[in-house]
Chains A and B, each alone.
Chain A
């Protein structure tokens, strides 16, 4: 694919996403005219840019879909759930066509025809207006020879999206007689011009029997992509003046001389007192200054992040060197560099941040499709879509989130009948939210379904040999057993969430992102799953600790505090503000001999809602940690999630407290 086609593929993904969002909103509120317009515009963009990039089947298919939405806009067709469903399938199909490249295979073309047949009403005529009621609603008023002054300033990249200003003019010529001038352009210099951009704006004088809504329609595509003002100059205008006094009109248009235009059009002496200026109709005023954007490939960002990581390591080495040499000048340079490195690191990480809403929107479709499939009434309420998270984290979070929502849809929310019998509203709700919490992001999936039955879970866990019948666990601990491998509360494996991928897979995925997942549930009221994730995976704040001569990093996000070991002896628990906290020696974990270190420390961490302590020889301090993946030979080492290079060039392993705690407590949990 050439550069233009690549750009189209990238752009099309955004357009399809926007289209899907508009359709899902229309499914809930079919009368939302703005959404219908948005869908129409998105399809027009897809058609235009597809044609330009040589995706002829995309152009053909999008054109037909666009026609269907045009019919909805004009009231000739009703946007019912049937049409929304076909349109959603059409979006999936457009995605497949785009993935297939410029030349679509015969099978895809045949699939296009099938969908288009449905779209045109071949399958029951869904969406066809059954009465003239809708049509009557858009009956046009006929105006006299009215004059309008229209100013149009499209965004410079309009042409790159397949919209041609020539088309704009053509749309207006169909309405009446017009004179059009481009405003005296101060063109950008060649070096400053983005090829393909057009920095022109126009003033148009339009005279005819025109309903202002027709002008809105003609300028429909530009209205969303620039600034359009439509101003009525008056009725009973002289249409012949446009040809007879063309030059004078052109001059008045260039000068923006409204008084002169009125004088020409309405035979009004030019010296009359100027009437108060009519209110111009701002179609899109807020977009006068849209922020310039540049699209950068993720691979380029990855290279940048790697380089910044190397720089942070080099800076740490310089700081270490300056400290060892006791050179104030060198230390001053090292401090300056550290400040700049921190700024550069934060700015670079910020480049990779995306709003999590990009993931949320796909769940709306999921909830709609699956709730229909299951015969349940379920609404999805989202909040915190603007919460930003590293792109890698967002990408890797998609599948676990789908699994959680499918679980709520399949097992959590009851059927309308069951809900009604339980005195609940027939329609269930799933809440999906995201928010920042210190250096983490907290994502919650909550439903108002039947909740988890701790008794059943416990019985199943015993049956599966996950716990001993004598094991004493709190209700929350029992509920969290569903994260154990192979556990399922479903009576039968459903096609949706019971595909052999249990909640353990979700926990594994979340932990791979250095995150944590917790569950709380109340029978009859619902379930909440809380995922806590670090903002980024590339550089973390760590706590550097020492065992013998080796140093290790514990993720600071999981560290609560450091305390002294309460006296000698093989104790395994310490009391911390009334709570009994288990602790383990990292020496024991690594199979090292006991040491005679004075005042060993316990690093208290929180894992899955519980506290665990790790005994270390010394706590060195907070450390900016550039995460390096381990070589193949070390990848399987339990309890180690990566490595980092310290300021003195030594390598320190990054520990995974959750895995170590799980492994260290396993024998006791089973035997307790």
Chain B
């Protein structure tokens, strides 16, 4: 499953998960559009995404533009190395300084738990 949607008292959470590419774009777009149409605060969670290609980054940027234009509350909840890596590769790294990205929580992965750096 490329994404899942969770509804709660504080709004809707759209979670992108796994390695996401162009073949996942239709379902991701559908989930984002449905969430934005719910009239509830929407949180996009990219913390569980293992990789994102250009089409998924485009979706995120378009969702943000749609939310801003219509005044819908869409915020980036979590993100990880997948988003950072994709933005760097696409020449969009400067967006990480943008408040919409900067205010999101970056998920930390500790690959070397034995080294004592694990959470």
Contact = CB atoms under 8 A, between A and B. Distances in A.
Interface of A: 4, 52, 159-160, 164-166, 169, 180-182, 185-193, 195-200, 202, 204, 250, 254
Closest 9 CB pairs of A and B: A195-B25, A180-B91, A187-B61, A190-B66, A182-B91, A195-B29, A195-B26, A181-B91, A189-B66
22 contacts: A165-B54, A169-B90, A180-B91, A181-B92, A182-B90, A187-B58, A188-B65, A189-B65, A190-B33, A190-B59, A190-B66, A191-B33, A192-B62, A193-B29, A195-B55, A196-B23, A196-B25, A200-B58, A202-B90, A202-B91, A204-B91, A254-B94
Interface in B24-71: 25-26, 28-29, 32-33, 36, 53-55, 57-59, 61-66, 69
B22 interface: yes
A185 B59 CA distance: 12
Most buried by B among A52, A159, A164, A195: A195
A164 B53 contact: yes
B54 A187 contact: no
Given A169-B89, A182-B90, A195 B63 contact: no
Contact of B23 (A4, A165, A180, A197): A4
A190 B89 contact: no
Contacts, number: 84
Nearest to B25: A195
Contacts of B58: 187, 193, 197-200
Given A195-B55, A195-B59, A190 B29 contact: yes
Given A4-B23, A52-B23, A169-B89, A193 B94 contact: no
Interface residues of B, number: 28
Contacts of B55: 159, 195-198
Most buried by A among B58, B64, B91: B91
Contact of B62 (A159, A180, A193, A204): A193
A166 B29 CA distance: 21
B62 A187 contact: yes
Nearest to A169: B89
Given A166-B90, A187-B64, 15 more contacts: A4-B23, A159-B22, A165-B90, A186-B65, A189-B62, A189-B65, A190-B36, A190-B62, A190-B63, A190-B66, A191-B66, A196-B26, A199-B58, A200-B92, A254-B94
Contact of A200 (B22, B69, B90): B90
A246 B60 CA distance: 26
Most buried by B among A185, A193, A200: A193
A189 B69 contact: yes
A250 B88 CA distance: 12
Contacts of B92: 181-182, 185, 200
Nearest to A170: B89
A186 B29 CA distance: 18
A160 B22 contact: yes
A160 B25 CA distance: 10
